């Protein structure tokens, strides 16, 4: 049985409106792919939330660009609908919404058509005619399919909207780029060369929305601000680390894309490797973008070449999720019935540096698992010396280990489990004294009661401020691909059918062996 105690923030603590008080610059936000899934589900409501909190200057214009045949009124309706479905809908002052919508516009066209970009120049010119030249900042959000990314940047640059600028130059021009950034080291490098031939690295904001999540930002702060943990954050005290990103959803209408990607490209190369880097890296000298990114790259470069024998891939079969029968991956729309694409992967990684040599890091992620949960669990070694007679809860059981869990979602926070004496009188002559694990638990919502800040809201704001700390740099992307390419090539060449796991379970039994070989076992995520 587990027992738990809860942690609360000091009552004098007042939550911050957002983790930093800075406001974004006045700018024109041009959203390419404005009627797509991402825009409708995340981006438009994030823009609304920024406006509601007064973090995006009222003078900012929003221009949606996409293939769908809409006029300004049609797009405004779509924006209003997205905001109404978002978290902060109730709190938005109707006057703010109205004023935001009157500054929202739409340009229809094919994103690969050169003429669309001439139209865009005309529109932006008209909308910005009253804006002083030095304030004509432009943020281009490329929520477009990978194939459109390069032509879109080329056209924006050709028509003079997105051109090379120095970091200090005003007005600024920046591009936010959605993942996936390439599908291998080579393709990512080619894309990078193409983009860098037109703009500078500091103008590119590569999104990994995990970096915008509160608990992910907390990893470094937590390590740096607590004298208790950093001294034991190493091979002397940590037995292993488990990083899990479990989803209960399937491919959700994205079968066509997903079948060309798979779990490793979709989740590991970006989100899981970012969690790995932040957990394992040396502490940066500051929280400035390059200081943090330098340390992340160093850590990723220390990861030893992956041993394919220490990896597992699998596909979900049919099963029951949330009381509903769901079909298997091969039956999903847009997925080939003979597909070899993995919907689950587990990797064992070894880090070759003084801090981590000999400490395995286990990463796993999958779709259609038993629940939605992303967490980093740091398992500590049990004490090297035990008083005679101390056992786990049952006689003869080993003592429970200390585990620190950083919960990324759904209940953002952390917990620390430690061992404690089961109540009862201690007698010197007792043959055995049992010890039980207790969880000390901290929930962000419960402790601070802050309003939820969606990851995209934080990231959009940072891009308007020009702070790239929570975005990935090109060498991080390249290093991640370099690590994964050999495995992906090997998997692609292997015709053996993939193992399957029942939808609604925690994954294939093959993944258990990875840990059992070391005498460990996977945690039940969220437990
Ligand atoms: C995206 C992946 O990057 O992250 C999706 O493409 C995945 O397949 C999603 O579902 C998970 O994000 P979150 O924030 O729900 O964990």
Give the 3-state secondary structure of 101-153: HHCEEEEECCCCCHHHHHHHHHHHHHHCCCCCHHHCCEEEEECCCHHHHHHHH
- Smallest CA separation from ligand 1 atom 10, residue: 247
Structure tokens at 479: 């290093």
Q: What is the pLDDT of residue 472?
A: 96
Residue intervals of the chain classified under CATH 3.40.50.720 are: 27-207
- Smallest CA separation from ligand 1 atom 6, residue: 266
The alpha carbon of 174 and the centre of ligand 1 are apart by a number of angstroms equal to 24
Q: Tokens 């999958």 identify what position?
A: 366
Sites in the chain below the pLDDT cut of 50: 11, 14-21
Contact 23, 58 (CB under 8 A): no
Q: Please work out whether the CB of residue 178 comes within 6 Å of at least one atom of ligand 1.
A: no
Indicate the fold that domain 27-207 takes in CATH.
Answer: Rossmann fold (3.40.50)
Distances (CA, A) of 296 to 179, 247, 283, 291, 392: 18, 25, 9, 9, 38
Q: What is the pLDDT of residue 454?
A: 87
Digit-coded pLDDT (tens) for 382-438 = 988 778 778 888 877 888 899 999 999 998 999 999 998 888 766 666 667 788 889
Atom of ligand 1 lying closest to residue 210 CA: 14
- Among 181, 271, 365, name the best residue to mutate to test ligand 1's pocket (greatest count of ligand atoms within 8 A of Cβ): 271
203 in helix, strand or coil?
A: helix
Quote the DSSP letter at residue 505. Answer: B
Q: Degrees (nearest 5) of the Cα angle 99, 104, 106?
A: 160
Closest CA to 31 of 97, 124, 98: 124
- d(Cα 502, Cα 508) in Å, to the nearest integer? 8
- Among 265, 266, 411, name the best residue to mutate to test ligand 1's pocket (greatest count of ligand atoms within 8 A of Cβ): 266
Burial of 13 (0-12, 13-18, 19+ CB in 10 A): exposed
Closest CA to 478 of 186, 207, 175, 204: 186
For domain 211-380+473-516, which architecture applies?
2-Layer Sandwich (3.30)
CB-based contacts of 108: which residues, under 8 Å, 6+ apart? 65, 66, 67, 68, 69, 70, 71
Q: Please work out whether the CB of residue 49 comes within 6 Å of at least one atom of ligand 1.
A: no
Q: Please work out whether the CB of residue 208 comes within 6 Å of at least one atom of ligand 1.
A: no
pTM higher than the cut 0.85? yes
H/E stretch holding 413:
strand 413-421
The alpha carbon of 390 and the centre of ligand 1 are apart by a number of angstroms equal to 44
Residue intervals of the chain classified under CATH 3.30.360.10 are: 211-380+473-516
The alpha carbon of 132 and the centre of ligand 1 are apart by a number of angstroms equal to 40
Q: Please work out whether the CB of residue 457 comes within 6 Å of at least one atom of ligand 1.
A: no
- Among 209, 212, 335, name the best residue to mutate to test ligand 1's pocket (greatest count of ligand atoms within 8 A of Cβ): 209
- Smallest CA separation from ligand 1 atom 5, residue: 266
Contact 47, 156 (CB under 8 A): no
Atom of ligand 1 lying closest to residue 409 CA: 16
Contact 466, 22 (CB under 8 A): no
Q: Please work out whether the CB of residue 266 comes within 6 Å of at least one atom of ligand 1.
A: yes
Q: Tokens 């989803």 identify what position?
A: 247
The alpha carbon of 410 and the centre of ligand 1 are apart by a number of angstroms equal to 13
The alpha carbon of 380 and the centre of ligand 1 are apart by a number of angstroms equal to 29
- Smallest CA separation from ligand 1 atom 8, residue: 266
Atom of ligand 1 lying closest to residue 179 CA: 3
Q: What is the pLDDT of residue 18?
A: 43
Q: Degrees (nearest 5) of the Cα angle 168, 277, 226?
A: 90
Q: What is the pLDDT of residue 395?
A: 78
The alpha carbon of 114 and the centre of ligand 1 are apart by a number of angstroms equal to 32
- Smallest CA separation from ligand 1 atom 9, residue: 267
- Smallest CA separation from ligand 1 atom 13, residue: 210
| Direct distance between the N- and C-terminal alpha carbons of the chain, in angstroms, rounded to an integer | 12
Q: Please work out whether the CB of residue 375 comes within 6 Å of at least one atom of ligand 1.
A: no
Q: What is the pLDDT of residue 13?
A: 52
318 in helix, strand or coil?
A: strand
H/E stretch holding 39:
none
The alpha carbon of 228 and the centre of ligand 1 are apart by a number of angstroms equal to 33
Quote the DSSP letter at residue 90. Answer: G
H/E stretch holding 301:
helix 289-301
410 in helix, strand or coil?
A: coil
Structure tokens at 340: 């070899």
Does residue 352 come out as left (phi exceeding 0), alpha (psi in the -120 to 50 range) or beta?
A: beta
The alpha carbon of 274 and the centre of ligand 1 are apart by a number of angstroms equal to 14
């Amino acid at each position: 049985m587990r027992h738990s105690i809860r942690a609360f923030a000091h009552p004098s603590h007042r939550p911050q409106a957002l983790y930093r008080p800075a406001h974004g610059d006045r700018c024109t936000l041009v959203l390419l792919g404005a009627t797509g899934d991402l825009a409708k589900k995340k981006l438009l409501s994030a823009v609304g939330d920024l406006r509601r909190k007064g973090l995006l200057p009222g003078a900012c214009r929003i221009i949606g660009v996409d293939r769908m045949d809409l006029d300004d009124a049609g797009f405004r309706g779509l924006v209003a609908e997205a905001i109404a479905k978002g978290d902060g809908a109730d709190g938005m002052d109707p006057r703010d919404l109205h004023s935001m919508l009157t500054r929202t516009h739409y340009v229809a066209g094919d994103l690969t058509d050169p003429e669309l970009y001439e139209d865009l120049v005309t529109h932006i010119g008209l909308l910005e005619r009253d804006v002083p030249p030095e304030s004509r900042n432009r943020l281009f959000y490329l929520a477009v399919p990978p194939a459109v990314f390069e032509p879109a940047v080329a056209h924006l640059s050709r028509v003079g909207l997105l051109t090379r600028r120095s970091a200090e130059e005003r007005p600024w021009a920046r591009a936010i780029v959605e993942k996936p950034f390439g599908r291998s080291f080579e393709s990512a490098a080619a894309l990078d060369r193409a983009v860098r031939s037109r703009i500078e690295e500091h103008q590119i904001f590569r999104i990994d929305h995990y970096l915008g999540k509160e608990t992910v930002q907390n990893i470094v702060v937590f390590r740096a601000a607590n004298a208790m943990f950093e001294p034991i954050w190493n091979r002397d005290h940590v037995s292993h680390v488990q990083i899990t990103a479990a989803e209960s959803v399937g491919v959700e209408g994205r079968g066509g894309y997903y079948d060309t990607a798979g779990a490793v490209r979709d989740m590991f190369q970006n989100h899981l490797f970012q969690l790995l880097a932040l957990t394992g890296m040396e502490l940066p000298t500051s929280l400035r973008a390059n200081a943090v990114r330098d340390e992340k790259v160093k850590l990723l470069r220390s990861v030893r070449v992956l041993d394919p024998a220490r990896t597992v891939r699998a596909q979900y079969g049919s099963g029951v999720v949330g009381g509903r029968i769901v079909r298997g991956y091969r039956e999903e729309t847009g997925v080939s019935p003979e597909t070899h694409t993995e919907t689950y992967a587990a990797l064992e990684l070894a880090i070759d540096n003084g801090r981590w040599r000999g400490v395995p890091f286990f990463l796993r992620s999958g779709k259609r698992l038993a629940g939605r949960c992303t967490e980093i669990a740091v398992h500590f070694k049990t004490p090297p010396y035990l008083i005679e007679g101390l056992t786990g809860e049952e006689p003869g059981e080993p003592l429970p280990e200390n585990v620190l869990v950083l919960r990324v979602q759904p209940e953002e926070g952390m917990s620390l489990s430690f061992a404690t004496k089961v109540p009862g009188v201690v007698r010197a002559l007792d043959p055995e004294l049992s010890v039980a694990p207790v969880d000390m638990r901290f929930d962000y919502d419960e402790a601070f009661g802050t309003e939820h800040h969606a990851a995209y809201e934080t990231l959009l704001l940072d891009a308007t401020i020009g702070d790239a700390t929570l975005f990935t740099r090109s060498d991080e992307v390249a290093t991640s691909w370099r690590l994964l390419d050999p495995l992906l090539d090997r998997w692609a060449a292997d015709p053996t059918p993939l193992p399957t796991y029942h939808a609604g379970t925690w994954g294939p039994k093959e993944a258990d062996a990875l840990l059992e070989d070391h005498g460990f076992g996977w945690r039940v995520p969220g437990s």
